[in-house]
Amino acid sequence: MHWTPEHAQPLNQWPEQHLDVSSTTPSPAHKLELPPGGRQRCHYAWAHDDISALTASNLLKRYAEKYSGVLDSPYERPTLGAYGDAAFLNGAKGDPEPWPGPEPHYPLASLHEGLPGTKSGSGGGSGGLGGSPVLAGNLPEPLYAGNACGGPSAAPEYAAGYGGGYLAPGYCAQTGTALPPPPPAALLQPPPPPGYGPSGPLYNYPAGGYAAQPGNGFRAKPPGAVEEASGKYAGGVPLKVLGSPGYGPQLESFDKFPERAPAPVPRGAFALPSEEPLKAVDPGALELVTSKMLDCGPPVQWADVAGQGALKAALEEELVWPLLRPPAYPGSPRPPRTVLLFGPRGAGKALLGRCLATQLGASLLRLRAASLAAPGAAEGARLLQAAFAAARCRPPAVLLISELDALLPAREDGAAAAGSLLAPLLACLDGGCGAGADGVLVVGTTSRPAALDEATRRRFVLRFYVALPDGAARGQILQRALAQQGCVLSDRELAALVQGTQGFSGGELGQLCQQAAAGAGLPGLQRPLSYKDLEAALAKVGPRATPKDLDSYVEWDKMYGFGH
C-alpha cells in the first residue's frame, strides 16, 4: 500500500472514471458519487491511510466471496441491499461482524452441501441448498429417490416438480456438486415400445402386443398372444415359422377357431361404456347381429401383417396408443373413434382391422356392408343400428364395416340416396347408435374411397391408405401360403415369383397359390406343389388393380388421407 500526495486531494475533486479494485490504492481518477449530505458519513476502506495491505486483501477476498456466492446461486437473487451493504458503506475496518441483512443468508460454504452426493456435514441442513426455503418447493424428490442406479439417496431433499415429468426412469443423480443439467433430448421422448428396434429388417412389432398401462384395465397381452413369440412376419424370422398357428395348415379356416374369450371390461378411456342407455334397439336384431357378427378368429398381431411398416406404426401411434392410454389431463382431446382404411381389394384392410381389435384387446364385430344393403333399406337400417348397439354392449369393441361404399349410393341420386343406408349410417356414426360411446372403435374399409360422400368421409376421422404389398411382403405372404401347401421354393424360384407377382394384393397371392394347387390337381395329387404349378397359375390369376386405380388411391390419399 502506497500513499502518494495525490491521495491528499479532497474526494470531491476526484474525477469519476472507474474504481480499480485490483489495487487498494485509488487513482486520482476515482471519484465517489454520493448523495449530498451523505458524503461525510461514508468512508471507503481505502480512504483510511492506516489500512494495511493484508487487511485490504482480506476485504477484497471477502467481497469477492460474497458476490461470487450471489452470482453462483441458481435461484432468484436477493437485491444487493439484502446483503448488508450498509455495513459495507459504513466502512468498518476489517469488518469482523457477519454480514447483517434483513434476511438470513444462505451460508456460502454450504451452498452445494445440501445436494445429494456431496458430503453435507453440518451444512446439509437448512443452510444447504436442499434445505433452502426458496428451493423447497422447487426441487423435489421423485426423480432421484430410490434411483435404480444406486445413486445417493438424499433425494427427499428435492421437492416435487423438478423435472419430475421429463427425466426418464433410471436417470441417475449425479454425484457432482451442481444440479444436474437438463437431460438430453432423447430422454425427453417416451421410450419406444419393444419391437421398434431399429435393427430389425422388418417392422418387427412385438409379438405379444403392447403392455397395458397400469390401471387402465387393458390386458397386458391379448388372448392367444403366447404363441406369437414364433414371429410370423417379424423380421429375421426363419421361413419355416411363417406358417403361424393362426394360419398353419392344421387350422383350415378362421371359423373353426374356438370363440375368443370375452374381453375383460377395462377401465381405460376406450373401455368405459357410455352412461347413455340404449334406445330403440330391437332386442331380436341385437341378438341376431351379435351372434352373426362376432368374429371369433385367432388374434392378429402386427407381425401377422406382412410389410406395411409405416402404416402399422401410424395406426399404432394415432389410434392404439391414444385409445389404450388414459387421457393425460382433464379436457384432453378425445382419441379418434373412427378410422377408414382404403385401398385395393385384398390389400389387407380387414386383416388390419382385426389386428387393431387384437391390439386393443377388444371384441371384434364384423359387418359386410353389401350384406346389409341386400335385404332392403328398412331391414338394413335395423341391422345396422343393432350392429352399433351390439358393439356398444361389449366394450371394448371394434366394429369392422367392410365395403363401406356399398352402403352409399351417389348422393346426387335422390332416389338411390333415399333407399340407401346412408342416413342410418351417419346417425350411428354420430353416436346415435352408440358409435360415439367410449369403448367402441368403428373401422370402415373400402376399395372405392372416391365413392364416399363428404359427410361419410368426414365422419371417419382417420383415413389411411392400405397399399399393395411390396416385394419383401409378397415374398413373406407367398412363403406362408406355400408352406401351408407343403411347397418350399428355392431362393431363386421365390425371387422369380415375387418378381412375377408385382401388383398383386395379399388376397390375390392367396388365390394364386390356391389356383396352383387346383391346377395341379391337389390335394388329390400326392406331390408337393412346384414352381411350375405356380407359373401355370400365374397365367390365370393376375392383379386386379390397374396402375390407374393405384394412382387414384394415391391422389385420394393426398387429398383426404392421413398420410403415413
Ligand X SMILES: Nc1ncnc2c1ncn2[C@@H]1O[C@H](COP(=O)(O)OP(=O)(O)OP(=O)(O)O)[C@@H](O)[C@H]1O
Interface mask toward Mg ion for 193-212; x: CB under 5 A: --------------------
Distance from C-alpha of 304 to C-alpha of 192, rounded to nearest angstrom: 20
Strands 440-446 and 462-465, bridge-based pairing: unpaired
- Asked if 140 and 173 touch (Cβ cutoff 8 Å), the reply is no
Residues 129, 315, 347, 452: which binds ligand X (CB under 6 A)?
347
- Asked if 245 and 207 touch (Cβ cutoff 8 Å), the reply is no
Q: Which is nearer to Mg ion, 120 or 445 (CB)?
A: 445
Distance from C-alpha of 90 to C-alpha of 43, rounded to nearest angstrom: 7
- Closest separation in Å from C-beta 434 to ligand X: 24
Residue 256: CB partners within 8 Å, gap ≥ 6? Answer: none
3-state secondary structure 368-429: EHHHHHCCCHHHHHHHHHHHHHHHHHCCCEEEEEECHHHHCCCCCCHHHHHHCCHHHHHHHH
- List, as one string, the DSSP characters of 42-60: ---GGG-TT--HHHHHHHH
Interaction of residue 118 with ligand X, rule CB under 6 A: no
Partner interacting with residue 385 (select from Mg ion, ligand X, none; CB below 5-8 Å by kind): none
Interaction of residue 506 with ligand X, rule CB under 6 A: yes
Distance from C-alpha of 114 to C-alpha of 108, rounded to nearest angstrom: 12
The window from 71-79, 184-192, 363-371, 399-407 that contacts Mg ion (CB under 5 A) reads 399-407
- Closest separation in Å from C-beta 401 to ligand X: 11
Q: Which three cell numbers stand for residue 327?
A: 387421457
In the DSSP assignment, the letter for residue 294 is B
Interaction of residue 349 with ligand X, rule CB under 6 A: yes
Distance from C-alpha of 104 to C-alpha of 127, rounded to nearest angstrom: 10
Positions in 340-359 near Mg ion (CB under 5 A): 350
Q: Whats the size of the chain, residue-wise?
A: 564
- Closest separation in Å from C-beta 346 to Mg ion: 8
Interaction of residue 510 with ligand X, rule CB under 6 A: yes
Q: Which three cell numbers stand for residue 485?
A: 401347401
- Closest separation in Å from C-beta 146 to Mg ion: 51
Interface mask toward ligand X for 268-307; x: CB under 6 A: -------------------------------------xxx
Residues 120, 308, 402, 511: which binds Mg ion (CB under 5 A)?
402
Q: Which is nearer to ligand X, 217 or 510 (CB)?
A: 510
Interaction of residue 409 with ligand X, rule CB under 6 A: no
- Closest separation in Å from C-beta 341 to Mg ion: 9
The window from 36-44, 93-101, 280-288, 349-357 that contacts ligand X (CB under 6 A) reads 349-357
- What are the strands of the beta sheet with 338-342, ordered from one edge? 363-368, 397-402, 440-446, 338-342, 462-465
Interface mask toward ligand X for 302-341; x: CB under 6 A: ---xxxx---------------------------------
Residues 445, 484, 485, 501: which binds ligand X (CB under 6 A)?
445
Q: What are phi and psi of 482, to 5 degrees?
A: -70, -35
Partner interacting with residue 307 (select from Mg ion, ligand X, none; CB below 5-8 Å by kind): ligand X
Interaction of residue 402 with ligand X, rule CB under 6 A: yes
Residues that bind Mg ion (CB under 5 A): 350, 402
Residues that bind ligand X (CB under 6 A): 305-308, 345-351, 402, 445, 447, 469, 473, 477, 506-507, 510
